[in-house]
């Protein structure tokens, strides 16, 4: 056995590629970015309505909500976890925020900054609370993330319905809707702007900070992290809390766009967010993923959803397409991975 | 002068099973001490106790003459004792720099950067490169994922990391198992260099040639006891194997 691998050092000489291409993540981002570009070009050729302001405003506003969930989910998946509850938490957070505005300030009129602030804070608090619960159960109780978040998915859905007998709550100050549908210069919706700022910040958080480094290392090898003396539980708690908080932010944007807090508003976003992260190149086994990848993944899903409608494909085919793309993305990635690790 | 690390009469039993029955040994700064023995002789138990992973049932650990009690691996680490296990505890998809600095990341200088935990990536890469070069490990690219390294390079990274962050004692568990001949030589050279810089090294190994090549002294464990301490001319393969198997030394105990 000794001596068999004596020549293996040769395999690891530096690759003569441009520095930024040396990272496998950069190659992956480039590759899925190319897929997004092809989709955009194809739909633009097929439909005169695709590259229009109306379609951009429509697509971007729904995509932001998925993106916020996907950004939080990126951290969770990079840590080798999964958060199935984000969509349900979005629903209960928005409903709770609307409930507070409707019941705490029934006659709020005009700008009503105070009531709106309290309502928004309530939505953020509920999202954060569910994130803390998920994180605590995963990190300290040691229950697998899939089970924990499947449980809190049910709990959040139930509480969302309980708040108003399953009905949405629309008795909120009108200026909330003004805020949610405002845009800058006709082209940049305020929700898109808010989401962009949060996404850039989270992208830097994952790629450039200690928190991000630990998120990836925990997902790669929790054993290595524990041996290095890092408090893995604290970081897991923060990761799931971030995911819950971002679901809370998304719930505010949904509520502001629709003018109501609805317990079912996040139901479709759940799987789309997870699919976006996975299409974006994050590994469900942890240790690998980028926020920019998730942005592109969200873009692919959003473009597919609206593009198929515009080229007159019956809407039910949308979900078929997203499912197929998800499976294809994971298959291609596994294939590339096997090739990369084979010696 | 007291030894860098000394243990006196160390005992450990798991229920009715006696893993260690009064082990006494010591290692000086700049010395490589081999610990050999058959499976079940107590080598891993000794390593776990010294690294803080397991508590001894009785006995004493002295670090630079001062009694030491390691509640956990982090405490042992803080006291200057670190272990490199067979599985290396590297994060495979993370690059060499991330693994080298895992748990001890360098943050950028200003106040805001510290608040948000902004990593000083350039300084970390430069420091990793210079440390690996100083120890003459042959790792060509610090941005490579650790799983893309060869087995010898991974072992070298794990040892260099432990040596960089610990000051007094390095515990190595079978560092050359599963390596090719050339890589074994590189890892042994690395161990030698680390010890020359003043580290006390305890090397647990099944590989007699390794022990002969790199160790100043070797203790033989048998059934939880030290049956021989060999050095100089006595440190030969025949003697080691003789004591390990019990063919030698039974009568003298």
B194-217 average pLDDT score: 93
> Which of A8, A20, A79, A235 is most worth mutating to test chain B (most B CB atoms within 10 A of its CB)?
A8
The answer to whether residue A6 sits within a structural domain is no
The confidence score (pLDDT) of residue A339 equals: 66
Mean pLDDT (chain B, rounded): 90
Residue in the structure block whose two tokens are 């830097």: A204
Is B99's Cβ below 8 Å from some Cβ in A? yes
Q: Percent of chain A scored above 90 by pLDDT? A: 62
Question: How many Å apart are CA A329 and CA A259, to the nearest integer?
Answer: 36
Is B115's Cβ below 8 Å from some Cβ in A? no
The answer to whether residue A15 sits within a structural domain is no
Question: How many Å apart are CA B99 and CA A230, to the nearest integer?
Answer: 13
The confidence score (pLDDT) of residue A297 equals: 95
Facing residue for B153 by CB, picked from A12, A221, A229: A12
Extract long-range pairs of A46-50: CB within 8 Å, 24+ residues apart: A46/A307, A46/A310, A46/A311, A47/A307, A47/A310, A47/A311, A49/A310, A50/A306, A50/A307, A50/A310
Phi first, then psi, for residue B59 (nearest 5°) are 110, 175
The answer to whether residue A155 sits within a structural domain is yes
Q: Are B206 and B20 in contact (CB under 8 A)?
A: no
How many independent structural domains does chain A possess?
Answer: 1
Question: How many Å apart are CA B79 and CA B61, to the nearest integer?
Answer: 12
Is B54's Cβ below 8 Å from some Cβ in A? no
B187-193 average pLDDT score: 93
The confidence score (pLDDT) of residue B64 equals: 93
CB contact under 8 A, B141 and A12: yes
The answer to whether residue A270 sits within a structural domain is yes
The confidence score (pLDDT) of residue A342 equals: 52
> By C-alpha distance, which of A26, A257, A242 is closest to A134?
A242
- Name the pLDDT band for A97 (thresholds 50, 70, 90): very high
The answer to whether residue A312 sits within a structural domain is yes
A2-22 average pLDDT score: 43
The answer to whether residue A14 sits within a structural domain is no
Is B37's Cβ below 8 Å from some Cβ in A? no
The confidence score (pLDDT) of residue B180 equals: 85
- Name the pLDDT band for A19 (thresholds 50, 70, 90): low
Give the strand pairing for B58-63 and B5-14: antiparallel
Position B165 pLDDT exceeds 90: no
Q: CATH number of the domain that A46 lies in?
A: 1.10.3470
Position A22 pLDDT exceeds 60: no
Position A58 pLDDT exceeds 90: no
Position B242 pLDDT exceeds 70: yes
A183-198 average pLDDT score: 92
Position B162 pLDDT exceeds 80: yes
B168-177 average pLDDT score: 91
Position A277 pLDDT exceeds 70: yes
> By C-alpha distance, which of B174, B166, B178 is closest to B36?
B174
**Tally of CB atoms within 10 A around A189:** 22
* The most confident of A99-108, B136-145, B206-215, by mean pLDDT: B206-215
The confidence score (pLDDT) of residue A132 equals: 98
Position A4 pLDDT exceeds 50: no
- Rounded to 5°, angle at Cα A208 from A203 and A209: 105
The confidence score (pLDDT) of residue A20 equals: 52
Question: How many Å apart are CA B141 and CA B150, to the nearest integer?
Answer: 12
Question: How many Å apart are CA B226 and CA B31, to the nearest integer?
Answer: 19
The confidence score (pLDDT) of residue A125 equals: 98
A with B: how many residue pairs have Cβ under 8 Å apart?
A: 109
Alpha helices, DSSP H, located in A47-185: 53-78, 86-104, 113-139, 145-163, 174-180
Q: Are B81 and B50 in contact (CB under 8 A)?
A: yes
Question: How many Å apart are CA B43 and CA B39, to the nearest integer?
Answer: 8
Position A117 pLDDT exceeds 90: yes
The confidence score (pLDDT) of residue B41 equals: 87
Residue ranges making up the domain that contains A318: 21-338
The confidence score (pLDDT) of residue B125 equals: 95
CA distance B249 to chain A (A): 31
- Name the pLDDT band for A7 (thresholds 50, 70, 90): very low
The confidence score (pLDDT) of residue A21 equals: 52
CB contact under 8 A, A216 and B118: no
Structure-block tokens of residue A242: 């971030």
Q: Are A325 and A254 in contact (CB under 8 A)?
A: no
Question: How many Å apart are CA B85 and CA B87, to the nearest integer?
Answer: 5
- For residue A204, what is the nearest residue in chain B, using CA coordinates? B118
Position A340 pLDDT exceeds 80: no
The answer to whether residue A2 sits within a structural domain is no
Is A14's Cβ below 8 Å from some Cβ in B? yes
> By C-alpha distance, which of B68, B76, B67, B69 is closest to B55?
B69
Give A11 or A212, the one with higher predicted confidence.
Answer: A212
- Rounded to 5°, angle at Cα B28 from B26 and B30: 145
The answer to whether residue A179 sits within a structural domain is yes
Position A306 pLDDT exceeds 80: yes
Position A1 pLDDT exceeds 70: no
Mean pLDDT (chain A, rounded): 88
Phi first, then psi, for residue A309 (nearest 5°) are -65, -45
Compute CA distances A29 → A25, A69, A296, B65, B142, whole Å.
6, 19, 8, 56, 21
- Specify the DSSP class assigned to residue A221: -
CB contact under 8 A, B147 and A341: yes
Task: Find how far residue A217's CA is from the centre of its chain.
Answer: 20
Position A317 pLDDT exceeds 80: yes
Give A276 or B109, the one with higher predicted confidence.
Answer: A276
CB contact under 8 A, A217 and B140: no
Residue ranges of domains in chain B, CATH in brackets = 5-94+150-245 (3.40.50.300)
Question: How many Å apart are CA B137 and CA B5, to the nearest integer?
Answer: 27
């Amino acid at each position: 056995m000794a001596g068999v691998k004596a020549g293996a050092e040769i395999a690891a000489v530096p690759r003569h590629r441009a520095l930024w291409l040396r990272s496998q993540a950069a190659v992956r981002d480039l590759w899925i970015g190319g897929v997004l570009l092809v989709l955009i070009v194809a739909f633009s050729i097929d439909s005169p309505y695709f590259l229009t302001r109306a379609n951009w405003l429509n697509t971007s506003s729904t995509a932001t909500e998925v993106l916020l969930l996907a950004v939080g989910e990126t951290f969770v998946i990079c840590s080798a976890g999964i958060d199935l509850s984000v969509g349900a938490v979005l629903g209960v957070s928005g409903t709770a925020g609307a409930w507070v505005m409707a019941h705490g300030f029934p006659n709020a009129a005009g700008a009503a900054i105070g009531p709106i602030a309290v309502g928004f804070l309530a939505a953020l608090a509920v999202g954060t609370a569910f994130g803390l619960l998920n994180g605590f159960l995963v990190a300290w109780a040691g229950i697998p993330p899939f089970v924990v978040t499947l449980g809190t998915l049910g709990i959040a859905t139930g509480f969302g319905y309980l708040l108003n007998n399953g009905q949405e709550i629309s008795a909120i100050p009108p200026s909330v809707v003004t805020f949610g549908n405002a845009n800058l210069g006709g082209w940049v919706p305020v929700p898109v702007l808010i989401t962009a700022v949060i996404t850039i910040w989270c992208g830097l958080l994952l790629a450039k900070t200690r928190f991000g480094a630990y998120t990836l290392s925990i997902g790669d090898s929790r054993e290595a992290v524990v041996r290095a003396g890092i408090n893995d539980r604290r970081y897991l708690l923060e990761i799931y809390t971030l995911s819950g908080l971002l679901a809370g932010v998304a719930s505010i944007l949904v509520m502001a766009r629709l003018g109501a807090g609805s317990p079912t508003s996040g139901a479709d976003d759940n799987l789309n967010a997870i699919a976006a992260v996975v299409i974006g190149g994050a590994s469900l086994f942890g240790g690998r993923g980028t926020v920019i990848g998730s942005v592109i993944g969200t873009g692919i899903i959003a473009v597919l959803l609206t593009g198929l409608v515009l080229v007159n494909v019956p809407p039910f085919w949308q979900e078929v397409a997203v499912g197929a793309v998800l499976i294809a993305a994971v298959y291609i990635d596994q294939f590339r991975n096997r090739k990369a690790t084979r010696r | 002068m007291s030894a860098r690390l000394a243990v006196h009469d160390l005992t450990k039993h798991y229920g009715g099973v006696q893993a260690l029955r009064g082990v006494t040994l010591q290692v000086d700064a700049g010395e490589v001490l081999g610990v050999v023995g058959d499976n079940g002789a107590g080598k891993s138990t000794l390593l776990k106790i010294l690294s803080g992973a397991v508590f001894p049932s009785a006995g004493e650990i002295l670090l630079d003459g001062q009694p030491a009690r390691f509640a956990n691996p982090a405490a042992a680490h803080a006291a200057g004792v670190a272990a490199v296990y067979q599985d290396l505890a590297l994060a495979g998809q993370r690059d060499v720099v991330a693994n080298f600095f895992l748990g001890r990341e360098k943050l950028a200088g200003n106040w805001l950067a510290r608040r948000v935990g902004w990593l000083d990536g350039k300084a970390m890469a430069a420091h990793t490169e210079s440390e690996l070069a100083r120890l003459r490990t042959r790792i060509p690219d610090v941005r490579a994922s650790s799983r893309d390294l060869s087995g010898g390079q991974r072992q070298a990274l794990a040892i260099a990391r432990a040596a960089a962050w610990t000051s007094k004692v390095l515990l190595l568990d079978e560092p050359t198992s599963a390596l090719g001949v050339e890589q074994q030589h590189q890892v042994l050279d690395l161990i030698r260099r680390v010890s020359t810089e003043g580290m006390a090294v305890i090397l647990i190994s099944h590989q007699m040639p390794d022990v002969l090549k790199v160790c100043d002294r070797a203790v033989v464990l048998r059934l939880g006891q030290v049956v021989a301490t060999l050095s100089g001319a006595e440190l030969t393969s025949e003697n080691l194997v003789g004591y390990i198997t019990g063919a030698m030394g039974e009568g003298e105990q």
